[in-house]
Structure 1
């Protein structure tokens, strides 16, 4: 009887294994979806917050560069080439920003629409040089696939950078300061960057766009820029 019970238990485990494996896969996929952008595969806002929280625990009070990257006149790409090609452009820009962040030992995310963020450890590189590197790589021509003739587009970006500590709150301080700097870059002509300085505030409303996707989905109580 003992042998029979052992065999029955083994058979039961073998029978249950496919179900367990499927459930684990579904859980892993669901977890990945919660933290990543479905179009580009980058971290999303939640994923970036989780990465920041990990940095705050493992490297408390260490200097951190926050770069907020907003593509200039992206709507023109959608209007001229269609939303499908616009998505292709977003994906290729995402790959470039992800690669830059990895080279600097950081992480990158797509917050919403045509807006990206990178968290980079502050080492020997200065903020101006990092911004120039990001801008140069983003501005390289992008070949967009198509069933007919392929299209090649060039797009620029406006950036706001802030030097913060890993212990600073992500939304209320780190991202907010980079957001302020980014709007100053937009105000000064786009295709450029600005670095947050103590006391810097949001430019007048006429230099700002309407509500962004990431603002519309922002949890109640968080600071907006």
Structure 2
């Protein structure tokens, strides 16, 4: 019915007219001819004098009812057919849209991630070559932050058009994987040199100014390249290899390209394993305090210990701070590690003679954190550790970022009896300025002033000691080693230095290796 009606829209009305004419004809034939014959044949009474007007009224009535009985279903049928056709068209449109969305990215019009993975899987399944260029835009976040997501979408569309042109010129397929991450896929073998040329051209073209209204500066692209014939034989693994190569470019400065390197992958995995292990170590208090003696001069009596971080590993070795502190800084875990060390150190020191002090270096980020003083004081209260037994060491690096906040924080610590020491004194560029502005109780002369054979530094040390006396500050000399014996300790004592620290008096040791210190001299304890 639908197809017939589509070919000839007048067919249905004609059929209705024919049916109506047939009904009218049969009604007239019945009234004026057949009715009398049928009644006589059935031997029923029949009034042949029935008026013609009444006959015609019957014809018209029958015709009218027949017309209504045909017209109403026909109208309903036509509407049903129209609705069916409309629903069919909408269904086909929805199917087409669904197929498009399933194949292409809705914003850029490029092949989407799902189809890309299917193409790579099919290619690899047929043992054919595939090369993947994973492209991540540099500094794209700044576009959204500064101009809004609508502007960001405009940028993504223009980048997609450029990638389409590159793909067309080089026999590849442009793909949008999601966000600001794109891909060029090549399904024919290309030599490494050719892939490098394509990647270099892509970096250049994607870094060119945009023709759209939004032209963010420093927009570029970093590309990672992987090849099925050298790097991986699985679609997901091939994409992962490209991602690893791209990550290397991001780390090395961006707006460049790299081929996948298995050695770099091993290093990256080792770094990831190290980061995971350090996270767990901080959470489990596995980074432990080691204690290095600080002695008073000239008596050389142990008056306290500097707390130094060490990481005992499962293999029995102990990692030094240089091995893990930079990683913890990058992960933002220095505050958590510091709190853990303070907790462990205070619990160990609470078993010692109560005149022994703890000294601990605090990072720049913590010193300039407005919450730091209250957090430290509360932790010392919880550990039942006297404020006057704790010393905070800071470096000038902590003072460069936000001097005013650092000044307020150090003043609050000083008011509660915590000693503040300026570490590595003498190698910074503004030490004297900081000494006059901050609540500094002690300075620690950097070990570089006491290197072997460097006697020309001693006049500078004398000057520092004289300045400290005039400012009523105490001084600790760092890096007093075995090879300085006996000259340096006696010279420092005679020059007015208050404390000394170094391998001459002891190497850093865990709490379990320390004696229960009393008011005895270092020499007596060592004996």
User: What's the TM-score, normalizing by structure 1?
Assistant: 0.75
Q: What's the secondary structure of 2:168's corresponding residue?
A: helix
Counterpart residue number, 1:23? 91
Counterpart residue number, 2:409? none
Counterpart residue number, 2:157? 91
- 2:184 pairs with 1:118: yes
Q: What's the secondary structure of 1:141's corresponding residue?
A: coil
Q: What's the secondary structure of 1:142's corresponding residue?
A: coil
Counterpart residue number, 1:156? 220
Higher relative helix content: 2
Counterpart residue number, 1:170? 235
Whole-angstrom CA distance in 2 between matches of 1:32 and 1:115: 20
Counterpart residue number, 2:243? 179
Whole-angstrom CA distance in 2 between matches of 1:101 and 1:122: 15
- From the superposition, tell whether residues 73 and 10 of structure 1 become closer, same or farther in structure 2 (CA, over 3 Å): closer
- Counterparts in 2 of 1:26-175, with a 5 A limit? 26-56=94-124, 60-120=126-186, 121-123=188-190, 126-145=194-213, 151-154=214-217, 155-165=219-229, 168-171=233-236, 173-175=237-239
C-alpha displacement of 1:143: 2.8
Whole-angstrom CA distance in 2 between matches of 1:9 and 1:95: 44
- From the superposition, tell whether residues 94 and 140 of structure 1 become closer, same or farther in structure 2 (CA, over 3 Å): same
C-alpha displacement of 1:9: 6.5
Gaps of 5+ in 2: 8-80, 273-326, 331-527
Q: Deviations over 1:38-63 (max 9, x none)?
A: 11111221121122234345xx2222
C-alpha RMSD of matched pairs (Å)? 2.7
- Residues 124 and 234 in structure 2, CA contact (< 8 A), matched pair in contact too: no
- From the superposition, tell whether residues 126 and 20 of structure 1 become closer, same or farther in structure 2 (CA, over 3 Å): same
- Residues 40 and 90 in structure 1, CA contact (< 8 A), matched pair in contact too: yes
Bigger relative contact order (CA 8 A; separation at least 6): 1
- Residues 133 and 184 in structure 2, CA contact (< 8 A), matched pair in contact too: yes
Partner residue of 1:200 out of 245, 264, 287: 264
- From the superposition, tell whether residues 183 and 9 of structure 1 become closer, same or farther in structure 2 (CA, over 3 Å): closer
Q: What's the secondary structure of 1:46's corresponding residue?
A: helix
Counterpart residue number, 1:221? none
Q: Deviations over 1:20-77 (max 9, x none)?
A: 34322221210111222211111221121122234345xx222221001011111111
Structure showing greater radius of gyration is 2
Whole-angstrom CA distance in 2 between matches of 1:71 and 1:107: 18
- 2:253 pairs with 1:189: yes
C-alpha displacement of 1:152: 2.6
Gaps of 5+ in 1: 1-7, 146-150, 209-225
Q: What's the secondary structure of 1:47's corresponding residue?
A: helix
- From the superposition, tell whether residues 41 and 9 of structure 1 become closer, same or farther in structure 2 (CA, over 3 Å): closer
C-alpha displacement of 1:175: 0.1
Whole-angstrom CA distance in 2 between matches of 1:24 and 1:11: 21
Whole-angstrom CA distance in 2 between matches of 1:164 and 1:157: 23
